[in-house]
A and B are shown apart, each in its own frame.
Chain A
Amino acid sequence: MQELEARFGELVGEVAEPPRVARYAVNEAMIRNWVEAHDDLNPVYVDPEAARATGRDDVICPPAMVTTWVMQGYRRWRQVQALRAEGVQESHAYSRLLALLDEHGFSSVVATAQEQEYVRELTPGTRVTCHFTIEDISPVKRTGLGDGCFITLRKRYVDQADRLLVDERFVILRFDPTTKDAPKEPAA
């Protein structure tokens, strides 16, 4: 485990992966899917007149939806799962980190915290790019879900003019579910 933790040092502070450029611009159809799923009746997300009545130029994207624009889509999600199952590492730091954790059995994931500062509201036509950095990796800890480590990703979302839209810290736990309620490993 110490050998694993020693390798975290090489990864902290690194760019996690190449910038993610949204596959399509912020758009009303995706916004509508989101607000319907959340049963959110705020009219500023779907009605340009209502949005203008609140001083905006157009409908806005719900703040929490910012992550959606840079998700990679179903096909790429399948591809990433297949590569991980085959033990194939892509060249970027985040892929190397996941491969390292997979090797040690930390293959499951839950998100644990998120902080987002919304600098600008997103409107249709905005093309989002997200820059990911590995900000922190905790030592391996015992958690209620099993042994694992917390990874803090810094995510900076910018528009096509490179203006900051949202600054985010995202914390996930990568853990080994087979160690849930396991006896504590003796200190080496």
Chain B
Amino acid sequence: MSTPTVVRPVVGETLPELALPLDRTTIVATAIASQDFEDVHHDPGKANERGTPDIFMSINSTNGFLDRYVTDLFGPATRIRKVALRLGVPNFPGDTMTFSGEVAEVTDVAVTLKVVGRNVRGAHVTATVTIDHPSGGIQ
């Protein structure tokens, strides 16, 4: 069970990093767990024909890892309300994606986080994640 490391978020607070080593099995297993059979997520030959050097992580898998990053930090009661993510460079087998982020906005009821997942080639994902305020807010 994860331990919440952020209890009373304040604007500008830096979130602890999470480094995720991604092997081929991770990329395939997460794609198949989401029932995504697009060949670029499991077949290196087909990925090549489609213009990429290797298979790459699916957007749903990236989104799943974002969920994990945020709820690892804020604890199991965390309620994610909104995620807006944009993909940049792909995540290939052998990459390590490191999440980092900061608290962008805090209201009585919600906290907005800016999160980036980077690998050696640059930003794989840039995201804005809104969660309910961990204190339960004013409701």
Contact = CB atoms under 8 A, between A and B. Distances in A.
A38 B27 CA distance: 9
Contacts of A138: none
B47 to A, nearest CB: 10
A46 to B, nearest CB: 11
B1 A38 contact: no
Interface residues of B, number: 40
Contacts, number: 123
A115 B51 CA distance: 26
Interface residues of A, number: 47
A140 interface: no
B34 interface: yes
Given A34-B64, A40-B68, A177-B50, A121 B76 contact: no
Interface stretch (B9-17, B55-63, B91-99, B104-112): B55-63
B64 A40 contact: yes
Nearest to A179: B51
Chain B facing A: main interface SS: mixed
B68 A42 contact: yes
B138 interface: no
A64 B66 contact: yes
A53 B33 CA distance: 27
A138 B105 CA distance: 32
B119 interface: no
B81 A67 contact: no
Contact of B2 (A41, A114, A175): A41
Chain A facing B: main interface SS: mixed
Nearest to A77: B37
Given A44-B76, A108-B51, A73 B35 contact: yes
Contacts of A36: 29, 33
B37 A74 contact: yes
Contacts of B85: 113-115
A88 interface: no
B64 A62 contact: yes
A39 B27 CA distance: 12
Interface of A: 30, 33-34, 36-44, 50-51, 53-55, 62-65, 67-68, 71-74, 77-78, 107-118, 121, 145-146, 175, 177, 180
15 contacts: A37-B33, A40-B67, A42-B72, A43-B1, A44-B77, A50-B76, A64-B63, A68-B34, A108-B51, A109-B38, A115-B85, A116-B84, A118-B79, A118-B80, A175-B51
